[in-house]
Amino acid sequence: MTDQELWQTVLGEIELSVSRANFITWFKNTSISARENGGVIVSVPNGFTKEWLENKYHKFILKALRTHAVDVKDVRYIIGAYTPPKRERFEPISENRFDIGSLDEQISVAEFEQPSLINEVNLNTRYTFSSFIIGSSNELAYAAAKAVAGSPGTLYNPLLIYGGVGLGKTHLMQAVGNEIYQTRPGTKIKYVAAERFTTELVNSIQEKRIEEFKQRYRQIDVLIIDDIQFLSGKEKTQEEFFHTFNHLFATNKQIVLSSDRPPKAIAAIEERLRSRLEGGMIADVGAPEFEMRIAILKKKAQERGFDLPEDVAMYIATKIQKNIRELEGAVNKIAAYVLHAKTIPSLKITEKILSSLINQPKRMVLVKDILKTVGEFYDIHIDEIINQSRRKEVVKPRQIVMYLLREELRSSYPAIGAKLGNRDHTTVMYGCDKISKSLEDDLTLQEELRLIRERLYASIG
């Protein structure tokens, strides 16, 4: 296998296991620039990518390389030309590093990237305050969002909305944008997912357009960034976000953020950023209570042009409790039936229609589900949890894995040790105990475990 074939094979594997955005961000424009005596040198377009691959993907890359070339012992990353011509290996980034060789990659990145004009507000008009149903689980967040929409940049800045999946965070923050868009024409509003913010930043660095990126964000009047837990561990992005944030804040521009957990529980987020977040207004959205679930179901049915019978609404509200998106999914299924059968289904028929949604026999949680969920939650690679890494950031997640294997799978201590890189059963006992004890008074940990369990069961459902 030539170096190029080897790298293509490895990339193919990586592509399957990371998100599209991550793949494009971190692996485009990489290549093997040299390989001798078991050492592989991977050339990357910039220092940012180098740092990221070294810290986050190294083990993964090494393993993938070894699977296809057994002689590989080590990998190093250098900043260099994409197509390795005869240049000095450690040459600094040159102006024309994206020459002809990388044209294809540039084009495909461009296809993936949509242009982000300042006036491209990126709002979904469906998400308004009037289509948002209020109950005790979200009234604070609603009131704060409404206040911000009424006088952006003055009251609550930043406004951070947090809560579990499918509970209306995106809806609410988009409603802020939509209302300001309607009531204050000319206001520059931008909604962006944190993941996308990162991709834009990385691309602008690669393409030497960082100034343009800064300008673009600093001209905005209302900046809405969704799912900021995604910034966890991404130092460069956090730094840029912090500067943008300060700039907007100092000029009384409004910032609205969402996260799936409170700032305290976002691991690896810079202290100064965390205290900035905590300096604003933080409001959570929780799971809706029964009455609210009924109200949501009825309203969503009405929006789709039919009335939901009481018994049907009660049935669904009893079966689906934690996620508004799922309630909506149930209504959509019934709406499809109504359209087709031209009649409103009885309870019996509803049970049939929704059986795949509600009675789905869930498969058992597997060891790998726990590893994957915990790894993703703390942004740590599974290999690092299993291996002997003593990095401080890994110790707690590893103990949480032990704890969950014990609690959710009822595994024995020696069995857990065996799964986790052949650790001794006493180490496992210690880890499980540590988490049990901390859970008694550590609210952050309680919250983290709640979220991890939620994701764990969502991932297999």
Which CB atom, from 147 or from 382, has the smaller least distance to ligand ADP?
147
The least CB distance from residue 198 to Mg ion, in Å, is: 16
Whether residue 158 has a cis bond before it, omega within 30° of 0: yes
> Which of helix, strand or coil describes residue 222?
strand
Among 10, 324, 331, 420, binds ligand ADP (CB under 6 A): 324
The least CB distance from residue 226 to Mg ion, in Å, is: 6
Task: Give the span between the Cα atoms of 155 and 152, in whole angstroms.
Answer: 7
The least CB distance from residue 132 to ligand ADP, in Å, is: 4
The number of beta carbons lying within 10 Å of the beta carbon of residue 125 is 10
CA separation (Å) from 266 to 29, 108, 249, 262, 377? 31, 33, 22, 7, 9
The least CB distance from residue 170 to Mg ion, in Å, is: 3
The least CB distance from residue 161 to ligand ADP, in Å, is: 8
Question: What DSSP element (H or E) covers 394?
Answer: helix 392-409
Which CB atom, from 97 or from 196, has the smaller least distance to ligand ADP?
196
One-character DSSP codes across 233-244: T-HHHHHHHHHH
From residue 261 to residue 300, the character string flagging contacts with ligand ADP as x (rule: CB under 6 A) and all else as - is -----------------------------------x----
The number of beta carbons lying within 10 Å of the beta carbon of residue 377 is 22
Residue 138's binding partner among Mg ion, ligand ADP, none (Cβ under 5 to 8 angstroms by kind) is ligand ADP
Among 26, 132, 191, 403, binds ligand ADP (CB under 6 A): 132
- Under the binding rule (CB under 6 A), the answer on residue 385 touching ligand ADP is no
Among 328, 376, 383, 408, binds ligand ADP (CB under 6 A): 328
Question: What DSSP element (H or E) covers 51?
Answer: helix 47-52
- Under the binding rule (CB under 5 A), the answer on residue 138 touching Mg ion is no
Task: Give the span between the Cα atoms of 198 and 85, in whole angstroms.
Answer: 30
Q: Which residue has the tokens 């030539």?
A: 2
Task: Give the span between the Cα atoms of 61 and 368, in whole angstroms.
Answer: 19
> Which of helix, strand or coil describes residue 221?
coil
163 to 182, contacts with ligand ADP by CB under 6 A? Answer: 163, 165-171
* Contact region with ligand ADP (CB under 6 A), list: 29-37, 56-64, 125-133, 414-422: 125-133
Interface positions with ligand ADP (CB under 6 A):
127, 131-133, 138, 163, 165-171, 296, 324-325, 328
Interface positions with Mg ion (CB under 5 A):
169-170
